[in-house]
Structures are given as C-alpha cells and as structure tokens.
Amino acid sequence: MTRVVAQGTFDILHPGHVHYLRDAKAMGDELHVIVARSVNVTHKEPPIVPDEQRRQMVGALKPVDEAHLGHPEDIFVPIERIEPDVIALGYDQHHDDEKLRAALADRGIDCEIRRASPLDRDEEARLLSTGQIIEKVIDERCE
C-alpha cells in the first residue's frame, strides 16, 4: 500500500484544491491531508476559516482518506506519524523541493516528493485561488 501526504491551507475550497487532491490520491492508495494551522501560515494572508473547520471540509472530500491538522510548532511531526511513501506538493506551492528533501532526510524520513499537475485554466470564469474568490466577493458585494 502506498501512503500519500498532501498539505495546504485550504482556506476557501475551490477547483484547484479538488484537482490537487485528486492528483495526490492517484499517486497512491491512501491519501492523508495535513491542513496547516493558521499560526503556521506565514507565506500569505492568514486563513479566514478556522483550523478545525478547514480540516473537516477537507476530510469530507472524496479523494481524502484522512485529514489532520498540522502541528503548531513542528510541521514534520504529522509526517513522522503518518509515515508516507510520497509527499504530493501542489504544482504551484511555495516549497523548495530540494530543501524539503534535505529536511526530510535530516529527520530520517524516506519518501518520494512529487508535484501535482496544473489545473487546466481554459475556463475564463474559473476561480482557482482563495484570493481570487475573496476579491470577487469584495468587488461584487461590497460596493
């Protein structure tokens, strides 16, 4: 059995999230998703939706076998507990693959790192990020 871990903020769910998680699930037999805690989101605006609610929403998605909240201080704790064979990164996630490989090796975690494919952006009206969704709500509802 191949165990896959995907991770992210998953603030306001959108088609990009579903595509990423479907891709990640296709990389193995069992998909675990680590939902970042708000306190650990430093590369962008903090999430609007509370941590546990985001975990519940992700856990309800069909490709997901189990959804976990990230550790508040050490992002590698859930990875050590889950013992994945593959870590699936989103095609545009900010992680540096080589630095991540080195950090995993330092912790004695032996797994493959793969990137999910990009979602087809042909549909002009498709909203593919939480930021886009928030901007559209502000533009259309806050006049």
Indicate the annotated binding residues for ATP: 9-10, 14-17, 92
Give the contacts of 128 (CB within 8 A, at least 6 positions apart).
14, 15, 16, 119, 121
In this structure, are residues 89 and 118 in contact, taking their beta carbons and an 8 Å threshold? no
Residue numbers belonging to the annotated binding site? 9-10, 14-17, 92
CA distances from 106 to 3, 15, 18, 142 (A): 21, 35, 31, 49
The DSSP H or E segment spanning 112 is strand 112-115
- Cα torsion for 99, 103, 106, 108, to the nearest 10°? -120
Encoded tokens for 27: 């990389």
